[in-house]
Amino acid sequence: MGKRDRLGGLPARALNIGLIVYGSLDNLSGGYLYDRKLVEYLGRQGDRVEIIAQPWRSYAGRLAENFSSNTLRQVETLQPDILLQDELNHPSLSWLNRRLQARWMGEQKPLTVAIVHHLRISEQRPAWQNRLYAIPERSYLNSVDGFIFNSQTTAASVKQSGLLRLRSERLTGSTGSLSAVEGSLAQRVIPNVIAYPAGDRFQPEIDEAEISARAHLPGPLRLVFLGNLIERKGLHTLLEALASLPGETAELEVIGSPAPAPAHARRIRARASRPDLAGRVCFTGALDNAALASRLRRAQLLVVPSSYEGYGIAYLEGMSFGLPAIAGNLGAAWEIINPGENGFLVAPGASAGLAEHISSLGADRARLESMSLAARKRFLAQPSWDQTSQVIREFLLELLAARRLPA
């Protein structure tokens, strides 16, 4: 008898997987961390995972990648069971996936599964721009065989987007545990799973006594911003909030890379150098894990007021150190943050409301302490990266078992 996994009697097997991403998997964003942790887990299970890297380009350059043969050649060489694709790559795959499928006419093609962190059209921008961006995103979403969602919010955004075309196609041979996205997708069964990100990258040995004592340390409230210096992360809103408060209220450490959006990063640094913020803001750039853990351990409040987050791994990682989080109220941060208990949610650009929350916690350290302990408790309730990756691997095995074989 062969080894069995815990999937209703399905035989365990090693998977041959291709993963399409832009650039290097070592990118520091939360989405890349999610992909990287999944790859590490799959490797430990004996699976083969080959990274297929597409080049970072302008948006127009990404669209042009649909007509390149580089990705096709790599996939044909690998001959994967499953082709995972970060949905971030959708501009480069919106037509390429159809070319890929045509190569396997009359043969068993690899199953194509999208890892969806958030839709591009969910981001805040003029409506006419999102209408244009919706064209390739719609084409891409309708070209895949399954979805891995990082949150309830992301799953709902796909369901409610209107991007998926209705059709009566169904997979056969399901093991019974594959679910279909409901609502507008009811006529097209698209297998999917929600696999929540984790925050246990650091696994800090920190106890309640240390968290409580830190909350009552004298001096300005120690704020930390964690994220790439891109407009969506809302650092400009945080700087305006901080500038409106007396100098002794709070100080800010900004941890994140300026590389993804150099022009915006320069504007941020220029704003922080003005007299009303002089000496109150420190930029560290991107940090390795040890240095980042040290900074998070000494901070008292994590503030990343993004205009949209597909989930928000940074909030969980801060909570692993007992840091309450202030986040934007659009996207999935509500799945992590219970306002008034372990953090707050603010509207995009609401610098006045953000300043009020910072000021109140700086003045009421007993409340800061209770929220800090609640933040740590919330982190402890989150699945680990291994648990999340196991959910995904079992979903992939089920997809292979449920696939419709060629006639």
Residue 28 — pLDDT band, cuts 50, 70, 90? Answer: low
- Predicted TM-score of the model (pTM): 0.83
Residue with tokens 């799953």: 155
Task: Tell me the C-alpha distance between 180 and 191, whole Å.
Answer: 5
Show Cβ contacts of residue 232 under 8 Å, excluding neighbours closer than 6 positions: 123, 124, 306, 307, 308
Among 38-47, 125-134, 226-235, the minimum mean pLDDT is found in 125-134
Task: Tell me the C-alpha distance between 222 and 302, whole Å.
Answer: 9
Question: Which whole number is the average pLDDT over 135-140?
Answer: 89
Q: Please, are residues 402 and 174 in contact by the beta-carbon 8 Å criterion?
A: yes
Task: Tell me the C-alpha distance between 302 and 315, whole Å.
Answer: 7
DSSP E strand boundaries for 269-378: 281-285, 301-304, 325-328, 343-346
Q: Which residues pair with 304 in a beta bridge?
A: 327
Q: What pLDDT digit, counting tens, does each position of 185-215 carry?
A: 444 568 899 999 998 999 899 999 999 999 9
Count of all residues that appear for the chain in the document: 407
All structural domains of the chain: 16-198+384-402 (3.40.50.2000), 208-380 (3.40.50.2000)
Q: To the nearest 10°, report the CA torsion of 120, 123, 127, 129.
A: -50
Name the percent of the chain lying above pLDDT 90.
64
Q: What pLDDT digit, counting tens, does each position of 341-391 carry?
A: 999 999 999 999 999 999 999 999 999 999 999 999 999 999 999 999 999
